[in-house]
Structure 1
Amino acid sequence: MANKDFQYRVEALLLKVTLALFRLPGLDRASAIGGWLGRSIGPKLGITRRARRRIARAMPELSEAEVERVVVAMWDNLGRVAFEYAHLDKFYRPEERHRIEVVGIEELHAHVKAGRGGMLLSGHFGNFELLPIAMHLEGLEGGQIYRPANNPYVNAWMLDMRSAETGAVQIPKGRKGARDLVTLLRENKFVAMLYDQKMNDGIEAKMFGIPSMTTPAPAGLAVRNGTVLFPVCIERKSGAHFRVTVYPQIEADPGADPASEIVRITQVLNDFLEARIREKPENWFWLHNRWSE
C-alpha cells in the first residue's frame, strides 16, 4: 500500500512538472509543438492499429489513404490537446476570448432567461476540455460530469484546477454523482457531459450501423425529469482556435411510453455523434473502444 501511494505521488509530481514545461513556449507554440509530435509519433504506435480498424469498420467507403489521413490528423489534434492542457486557464482571459467561437448560443440564453437549465451533451471532439470553459464564458452556471482519475493525487489536483477556473460543480460518473446532477438540474442550471464512450451496462443503440452500448442517463433524465438536452460539437478551426456549436434541443414526448422514449432519444444522440464524425472524422478520438471487437 505504501509503495502504491509513493507511485501515485511520483506520477502526480511528474505530471505537474511536465505541464509546467508545456507552459514555457506559450499557448500557440505549445499547441503547434504538440501537433507536430502527435502526427510524427502517434501513427507509428501500436495502439493506432485500433483506430485504423475502427475507422475502416465505421466508414468502409474510405480508401486506405483516406483512413491514414484521418489517423494522422487525429494524432495532430490529440498532441495539441495534450500540450494545450497546460494552458487551459488562458482560455478564460478576456484578451483570449477570440479563441472560442460559440455558435447557436441564442437558444441557450433564451433558456436561461426563461429560468430553465439543461444538459450540454458532446463527445471527444476537438479539445473536449473546453466545453465547461465555453459554458463559463457564456455565463451558464452548473457543473460537469467527469471520470475520476485512477491516481487520487492527480484526481484531486484536476478537480481543484477545474473548480477554481470555472466554478463548475465537479460531478463524478456513476451513482456517487447522481444526486449532485439531479440537484443542479432541479435548480435550473446546466450540466456538461461527454457521452460517447462505451458503457457496458448501458443500452444498445446503433452508431454507424454498429450495435453500440450507450449510456441511457441523458435520455432517462429527459423522460423522467423533463430535462432539455442540447447536443454540442467542439471543432478545432486552426491552431488553438475553436468553434463550439450548440444544436437544436431535444425533448422527450410526455405522451410516449417511457422505456421506448429512452431508447428513441438515446438513438437520436448517437445519430448526432455519427453525423458530426462523418463531417470531420479527424476531429474525433478514434482510440476509444467504442464497439466490441
Structure 2
Amino acid sequence: MKVRLKHRAEYLLLRGFCGLVAWLPYRPALLFAAGLARIGFVLGASRRKEAIRRIRSVLGDACSPRQARAIAWHSLRNMAFNLAEILYIGGDRPRSLPVSIDMQETLDRVRAYAREQPGRGAIFACPHMGNWELAGMVVPSCGIDMFTLTGVQKNPLVQEYLQRLRHAPGVELLPRGSSATLRKIFSNLRKGKFLAIMPDLRSRQPGVRVRFFGGEANLYPGMGVFARQVEVPIFLAIMKRHGWTGHSLELHGPFEPDLSRPKDEDAVRLSQQVMDIVDAEIRQDPGQWFWYNKRWILDPLEPEAAPAPETVAGP
C-alpha cells in the first residue's frame, strides 16, 4: 500500500502521544490515561449515551441510569488503562508492569495441555474483558506457540506500529480474509499452535448465531468451525482488572468437539458454550467489558448480507 503524506502525519501524531505515555512511570501513566478517558466520557456524549443504552438493555430495570453511567465510565477508563499498559510494556521504552498478574494457574494448565498433547493445537478465545491484550502478550512469552489474525488498517505505518505494540515477539500474524490464510490456520493448529481470537465480535455477514445478552448474536464462525474441523479444543480466557493495577486471568475449558454431531451443529454448540460463560462473566461485573464497540453485538444483520468468511476476527 502506498504511504501518503496523511499517513505520515497520523503516524507521527500517534508516536508522539504514545511516546509521552510510554516514558511516564506506571501510576502517572494510568492517571494520565484516566484523565483522557474522563474528557472523552464528557465530550463524547453520543457514544456515552449509546453505551448506557446498551448496558440498561442487557441488565434491565435492576440497573438504574446512575448505575449504568458508572458501568459505562469504568468500561471506558479500563480501555484507557489498557492502552497505557500496552504502551508501558511495548512502547518506546519497554518495561515490565510493576504489578503482579494472577495467572500462574492458567499458564500451568496451558503448558500441561501442550506437554500432554504434543502436536495438537487449540483455540485461545479471549473476549473484551479486563486488559485482554495482556493475555495475548504474556501467554506466548511462556513458551506457547501462538498465532492470530489481523485486519488491514488504511494507514500501513499505523498498522505496523500497532501490531508491534499489541503482540508479543514470536506471535505469527496472519491477514484475515484469504484462502491462503485459512489453509495456514489449519496447518498451524495441526502443528500444535494456539490460535488467539476474540469471540465477542459481531459479523456483518451471516455467521454463527448464538444466544447472548437475552437476544441473538451473529458472530464470526471461525472459533467453532476451526475447532470442529481440526478437532482441537477451545480454551476461554477471561481477563479481569482489580482496582487500577491488579489483574487476573481465569481459564475455562477445554471445550472439546463432539465428533458424533454434524459439523455445523457442533460448531454452534461450541460457540454457545463459550458465549454462555462470557455472558455470565459480564453480568457478574459489567464494567470489565468494553461496551463501546462500533458494531453492537446484538445488531441485526443487514439485508442480503453475504455469508461471513471462516477467517474470524483476531485480537
Fold similarity call, TM over 0.5: yes
Determine if the alignment matches structure 1 residue 38 to structure 2 residue 28.
no
Please list the CA deviations of residues 138-161 of structure 1 after superposition, one character each: whole Å capped at 9, or x if unmatched: 321121223332311111223345
| Corresponding position of 1:87 | 88
Q: Is the contact made by 2:99 and 2:245 (CA closer than 8 Å) also made in structure 1?
A: no
Q: 1:130 aligns with which of 113, 127, 134?
A: 134
Offset at 1:96? 4.2
Q: Is the contact made by 2:203 and 2:219 (CA closer than 8 Å) also made in structure 1?
A: yes
Q: How many residues align?
A: 290
Please list the CA deviations of residues 171-230 of structure 1 after superposition, one character each: whole Å capped at 9, or x if unmatched: 233336323322221110112111211102212211112111111211111211101100
Offset at 1:39? 3.4
Amino acid at match of 1:89: G
Offset at 1:24? 2.5
From the superposition, tell whether residues 290 and 119 of structure 1 become closer, same or farther in structure 2 (CA, over 3 Å).
Answer: same
| Corresponding position of 2:151 | 147
- Structure 1 residues not aligned, in runs of 5+: none
Determine if the alignment matches structure 1 residue 200 to structure 2 residue 200.
no
| Corresponding position of 1:248 | 253
| Corresponding position of 2:112 | 110
Identity %: 21
- Structure 2 residues not aligned, in runs of 5+: 301-315
Q: Is the contact made by 2:90 and 2:164 (CA closer than 8 Å) also made in structure 1?
A: no
SS in 2 for 1:174: coil
Offset at 1:41? 3.5
Q: 1:190 aligns with which of 185, 190, 194?
A: 194
SS in 2 for 1:197: coil
| Corresponding position of 1:230 | 235
State the TM-score, normalizing by the size of structure 1: 0.90
From the superposition, tell whether residues 155 and 259 of structure 1 become closer, same or farther in structure 2 (CA, over 3 Å).
Answer: same
SS in 2 for 1:232: strand
Counterparts of 2:159 and 2:260 in 1: how far apart (Å)? Answer: 42
Offset at 1:85? 2.9
Amino acid at match of 1:250: F
SS in 2 for 1:166: coil
RMSD of Structure 2 on Structure 1 (CA): 2.4
| Corresponding position of 1:281 | 286
Amino acid at match of 1:166: P
Counterparts of 2:98 and 2:107 in 1: how far apart (Å)? Answer: 15
Offset at 1:98? 4.6
Q: Is the contact made by 1:142 and 1:184 (CA closer than 8 Å) also made in structure 2?
A: no
Q: Is the contact made by 1:31 and 1:80 (CA closer than 8 Å) also made in structure 2?
A: yes
Determine if the alignment matches structure 1 residue 11 to structure 2 residue 10.
yes
Amino acid at match of 1:63: S
| Corresponding position of 2:59 | 59
| Corresponding position of 2:270 | 265
Counterparts of 1:133 and 1:187 in 2: how far apart (Å)? Answer: 21
Counterparts of 1:34 and 1:26 in 2: how far apart (Å)? Answer: 12
From the superposition, tell whether residues 174 and 195 of structure 1 become closer, same or farther in structure 2 (CA, over 3 Å).
Answer: farther
Offset at 1:249? 0.9
From the superposition, tell whether residues 10 and 64 of structure 1 become closer, same or farther in structure 2 (CA, over 3 Å).
Answer: same
Amino acid at match of 2:114: V
Offset at 1:97? 7.4
